[in-house]
Chain A
């Protein structure tokens, strides 16, 4: 399950969605998103045109699935799942 490291996930996700979304977000939206606990990255990957999607597949097991293009990777990162649950107001 540990096919994709947390570090590499954050790198891809940060490049593909976070960076693009924040760049497009108005100042109020950026403030609402907040950066508490965020991991700063320096992405170098190309930004895909279609959405890169990450979702919590199994919160109990700490599993996150990332889909990009026609690829899908599932890996285990309990800390990330906890942060996502907090962001979703579920923890």
Chain B
């Protein structure tokens, strides 16, 4: 009992193993492709796409951007904006009592006039954070913060870019070349803002190296997180979950602040980010996740706002940060979808069902992944779609192949069985019986059982005959597909003769009235014909003979010539019937051709093209020959296809 169950389990596993092997190979191949990073680009693009598709979120009122625009630069008539302007701006902003001010403009070198003023403003305002560039650029330079700012009032503005130049991660902390640990502007601002609400920055619980505000841990990006493969995960990075919507933050202009045209509640208790929003300042960032008038291009200060906003919103609103699954779960997820693809083929046998199944599964997987993005989970979608579609397509192909194979095998088996039966009857009982019959007939007084013997002979022959008809008559069924390929290897004139014999046995009205047939089937040169040409020629003859059978009223004579005349090869079918005049709509196309042609001149170019005629013409064209249908003398029709016996080198 137990053994039986084990056996059946084993059998299922074996079948699955054999049937699913290609599918498993597809899964493995896709996983390898993912591991080598071949899919990274696609995964990142899809990730961006999903983020962009999210519904718009309301404006984050906690962050206000004060932009220094091209107009402000033109008014100042100097660039960089002088320190006095900045000092003035900071002083004005402080009157609105913001919780923190982030100055996303480097001030490592004094920009006179007004440096003294700015220095004193920096010294007096404890809520102001200045920026530095902590990590060296290509030339190895870093940018120091304003000298007046104590180090806890400095955050770096460095960005981590992907290979495509897009910013998808936010760097929160990193060691500078002097091995000092530096914090980013975003984390500095968030820290101040949240500290004002009693939430302190701490170390992660699950991951001690991660940062944490209250219960919200900012999960670090690893080099293989999500769709990333071997990304530079140096420092403390988190995925950037930009705020969707066209107006994520309130943007005020420098002149607005100067002229006091602001609602104080916009700034009081908020974070103010001051930055350049001018193309000439070139402080820009790229993101595929942000939809806009100029997709993907935003100002650096806006990116800082996004980075700050996502931390504060996560802590205070429970807005999700982007997280990823552990690698093992990701690959399990891919394998699961791959197995689903394989089982679709295992349980749905019809190609259309599989196609539909794959479609449903693909749409569902996309839907699920999008839903997960909304919940803050970035899970692999590209490899999932790949395993699904490849397995589906593979299964479809395999299914068609299997169907073809089965059909071929069945036909072969059937043919074999027929031949065996035929040979068995022939070599055994029939031979014995004919021997007995012959001896019995020889005798002067035939034995009394002679009639029975003769009947037995008849019966045996009937069985034998039917079996043999099966074995031989199958061949000219030219529409049977692959099984016929072999039969088509026979010489063309023999094939044509078989078609002729078989067609003549069809129940067609005017084949019965035929009194005699004049036929000639000579070997034809078929060296330049392909199998489908031979098949088409057989069909042509069948069609022509059927036309005689259907439309050649009271035909008594049928001429079928398949021979070579000069350097032309010809198949000609002629009858001496009379075509009937058009009576009803039920006439077949061939009949219509025939009727019209009897009245029109036999110029092939002027002949109307019915379906049969069109096929014949196409065939003639392929063979580089001609198809004609013209009246026979004294009555009837001639249907003729001629083509060159020589190989054509052109065409």
Asked if A and B bind, the verdict is no
Q: Which residues of B contact A (CB under 8 A)?
A: none
